[in-house]
Amino acid sequence: MGTENKASQWEVPKALRLPSAPADILLKRQALKKELYKQPNLDSTRIAILGGSTTIEVMSMLELFLLSGGIRPTFYESGYNRYSEDVLFESPDLWDFRPDIVFIHTTWHNVLHFPELLESEVEVEKRLNREMARFESLWEKIHKELSALIIQNNFDLPQLRPLGNLEASEPYCRINFLHRLNTAFSAYARNHSRFVINDIHYLCAQVGLAAWHDRNYWYSFQMAVSPSATVVLAQNVAAIVKSVYGKTKKCLILDLDDTLWGGVIGNDGVENLILGRDHPVGEAFVDFQRYVKNLKRRGVILAVCSKNDAEIAKQGFSHPDSVLEIGDFSVFKANWNPKPDNIRAAALELNIGLDSIVFVDDNPAERAFVAGQLPEVAVPDVGSDVSRFAEVLEHEHYFDVVNVGQDDLSRSAYYSSNVGRSAYQAEFRDYGEFLDSLEMTAEIGPFLPVYLERITQLINKTNQFNLTTRRYTSAEVETISQDPAFVTLYGRLADKFGDNGLVSVLIGHVTHETVELDVWLMSCRVLKREMELAMFDALVEECQVRDIRKIVGVYIPSKKNGMVAGHYASLGFSRLDGASRDRELWEYDVPQSYSAKASYIRRTLKTLPTGLNA
């Protein structure tokens, strides 16, 4: 491997380190990934991301941080907010994917059983159990049937707290409820192997709630975590995955002067070192030493690599305020050799790879030298301010551990649980019963002026469930809505958990007794809810009223609308011969008597949210 190659390999991870701004990482991701994919000997893993909100950004960032840790991921991504259905109803795609790891990306927005205001403690307790049972049923099923390791978000906090500080203490308040749920999640994690919490309760505090959740991204993309906070989240998840794969660093090698104490011991003498509570910087050195001591207590190997005379250097640990003792270090290299040589020698003595070493030195020239000579060694840019050293080390998650070993990942590992079957799982016998429980109501009708803006927006942004991907300006949509030669339908869908809003649009133009469908689209957030059937029912009714005998469906395949390739066939249309492959035509004869296809959606009269309806 040439020197040039070594340098570029070092540069890429560097771009992911502090003080890189999250926005820079987001914007440079393509180039970074390309570089990272060039690394030799990548491990591979299969990760299913089950999302309670949009996960595409999470997936993209996770890929980046896993690559930087030497792991090449293959992903499965659940449909929008289908984290629960995918598992409970055994989505064949998920089962076929055979994940090593299932990451459940839920946030407080996904809590279904928040208490009502002033509810009694007994009632709140019931809700808590119900919510826990819901999640436990997912976890058990994943463990039993997929044998996958689970990474589960705990809950972040909402920005708004209507009852102010009372939210912290009253059981019927959301914040108190979330704290209790988090405690219950933690207890589950302690009692179950192969289950790890991704602590977003900490992360949202770390980045601040205002930066964690951005209403703009929530309302426009249903992203529960803002893009910049997603960087932090993905890094945290990647750290868990890396430690599962044994990629955690084993050894911390430290410089001495101005790294573990202030001053140069060879010049100043041990009595003049800056170390101790009576000096502001001395106190910071004590705290860093304590941090390092705790790393050692949990199993991180410590070593010294310092340009010093060994005997003098050792005296530093006899300083009365030194937390570290000479015996804490497994290897002590204080001499005048180049540091890369010392580090190589230390690795040999400890019988560990260079890639399991982290080197901390306040001197940027030494850092650059080591990083350039030994690209496998992690050399964080700790700066020269000791009060930030620990923070930088933590940011890189070098020493994160989870309580699972390599064995835990093995597919043959058996699983047993003493947790009873949950009420939630037994609640539904099949998918139909689940749909029934959603108590869905749809409002479907011809375009109304109040909805034109939303309709235009959907027409111009929907790519997947979109039969023709035709785009229209708002002026065109308005004209169509007033033209009797067109059939127009919009659909809103609500369920017991809330209103999904206007989610489906259909436009057809009428010639004689035939309507040809120019636009049929639906938002992916209501996939597999039978909403497309309800729209079709409404279309057929409209045709019957207007004496339209024939419906012609148009399918224009695009790179993104493969999911609706079988749409017309599934509704009973017959394919018309002769049409081109770029533009399929399908035909349906409107029957005299028709029985509705949607069986779980109740249709309601339009109820305008603005109160404009008569």
Partner 1 sequence: MTREKFLLEIDEILDLPAGTLRGDEKLEDIETWDSIALINLVVLAETQANASITPDQVLTCTTIADLLRLAGVEHNPPVSKE
Q: Which of 27, 569 has the CB closer to partner 1?
A: 27
Verify binding: residue 220, partner 1, rule CB under 8 A: yes
CB of 207 to partner 1, least distance (A): 15
Residue 527 to residue 224: CA distance in whole angstroms: 19
Nearest to 318 by CA among 327, 309, 330: 327
Q: For partner 1, which residue of 457, 509, 514, 556 counts as binding (CB under 8 A)? A: 457
Stretch 174-213: interaction string toward partner 1, x if CB under 8 A: ----------------------------------------
Among 3-11, 53-61, 92-100, 344-352, which window interacts with partner 1 (CB under 8 A)?
53-61
Q: For partner 1, which residue of 31, 187, 413, 576 counts as binding (CB under 8 A)? A: 31
Instruction: Count residues near partner 1 (CB under 8 A).
Output: 23
Residue 111 to residue 128: CA distance in whole angstroms: 10
Among 24-32, 100-108, 300-308, 479-487, which window interacts with partner 1 (CB under 8 A)?
24-32
Q: For partner 1, which residue of 97, 217, 285, 472 counts as binding (CB under 8 A)? A: 217
Distance of CA 568 to CAs 29, 511, 524, Å?
39, 20, 18
Q: Which of 27, 310 has the CB closer to partner 1?
A: 27
Q: For partner 1, which residue of 10, 14, 17, 60 counts as binding (CB under 8 A)? A: 60
Q: Is 338 left (phi over 0), alpha (psi -120 to 50) or beta?
A: beta
- Cα dihedral 559/560/562/564 (nearest 10): -140
CB of 556 to partner 1, least distance (A): 13
Verify binding: residue 460, partner 1, rule CB under 8 A: yes
Q: Taking the CA of residue 428 as centre, how many other CA atoms within 13 Å lie in the half-sphere pointing to its CB?
A: 18
CB of 60 to partner 1, least distance (A): 5
Among 184-192, 205-213, 357-365, 455-463, which window interacts with partner 1 (CB under 8 A)?
455-463
CB of 5 to partner 1, least distance (A): 22
Beta bridge partners of 504: 491, 522
CB of 54 to partner 1, least distance (A): 8
Contact 415, 50 (CB under 8 A): no
Q: Which of 76, 329 has the CB closer to partner 1?
A: 76
CB of 238 to partner 1, least distance (A): 17
Contact 261, 319 (CB under 8 A): yes
Residue 288 to residue 234: CA distance in whole angstroms: 27
Q: Render 33-102 in DSSP notation, one character per residue.
A: HHHHHT-SS-EEEEEEEEESS--HHHHHHHHHHHHHTTEEEEEEEPPTT-HHHHHHTT-HHHHHH--SEE
Beta bridge partners of 182: none
Please provide residue 120's backbone torsions phi and psi, each rounded to the nearest 5 degrees: -70, 160
Q: Which of 28, 319 has the CB closer to partner 1?
A: 28
Q: For partner 1, which residue of 38, 277, 461, 575 counts as binding (CB under 8 A)? A: 461
Q: Which of 138, 477 has the CB closer to partner 1?
A: 477
Verify binding: residue 23, partner 1, rule CB under 8 A: yes
CB of 38 to partner 1, least distance (A): 15
Verify binding: residue 414, partner 1, rule CB under 8 A: no
Verify binding: residue 56, partner 1, rule CB under 8 A: yes
Q: Which of 221, 291 has the CB closer to partner 1?
A: 221
Q: How is the chain split among helix, strand and coil, in percent rounded to 5?
A: 45, 20, 35
Residue located via tokens 């001197």:
363
CB of 26 to partner 1, least distance (A): 5
Q: Render 463-500 in DSSP notation, one character per residue.
A: -SSBSS-----HHHHHHHHH-TTEEEEEEEEEETTEEE
CB of 220 to partner 1, least distance (A): 3
Q: For partner 1, which residue of 3, 41, 216, 351 counts as binding (CB under 8 A)? A: 216
Nearest to 48 by CA among 101, 1, 105: 101
Distance of CA 388 to CAs 50, 145, 259, Å?
36, 45, 11
Verify binding: residue 223, partner 1, rule CB under 8 A: yes
Q: Which of 217, 520 has the CB closer to partner 1?
A: 217
CB of 4 to partner 1, least distance (A): 21
Nearest to 239 by CA among 29, 24, 69: 69
Residue 404 to residue 297: CA distance in whole angstroms: 19
Q: Which of 296, 470 has the CB closer to partner 1?
A: 470
Q: List the beta strands (DSSP E) in 336-480.
A: 357-360, 440-445
Verify binding: residue 219, partner 1, rule CB under 8 A: yes
CB of 216 to partner 1, least distance (A): 5
Contact 475, 499 (CB under 8 A): no
Q: For partner 1, which residue of 221, 369, 434, 486 counts as binding (CB under 8 A)? A: 221
| Helical packing angle, 364-373 and 3-15, nearest 10° | 120
Q: Which of 59, 564 has the CB closer to partner 1?
A: 59
Q: For partner 1, which residue of 7, 19, 27, 572 counts as binding (CB under 8 A)? A: 27
Residue located via tokens 């003493």:
418
Residue 79 to residue 312: CA distance in whole angstroms: 63
Q: Which of 47, 543 has the CB closer to partner 1?
A: 47
CB of 476 to partner 1, least distance (A): 10
Contact 569, 555 (CB under 8 A): no
Query: What's the count of helices (H) and strands (E) in the chain, helices before strands?
Result: 25, 17
Contact 402, 420 (CB under 8 A): no
Stretch 149-178: interaction string toward partner 1, x if CB under 8 A: ------------------------------
Contact 17, 358 (CB under 8 A): no
Stretch 224-243: interaction string toward partner 1, x if CB under 8 A: ---xx---------------
Q: Which of 26, 596 has the CB closer to partner 1?
A: 26
SS3 227: helix
Site for partner 1 in 112-131 (CB under 8 A): none
CB of 53 to partner 1, least distance (A): 13
Verify binding: residue 26, partner 1, rule CB under 8 A: yes
Residue 375 to residue 207: CA distance in whole angstroms: 30
Residues contributing to the site for partner 1 (CB under 8 A): 23, 26-31, 56-57, 60, 216-217, 219-221, 223, 227-228, 457, 460-461, 471, 473
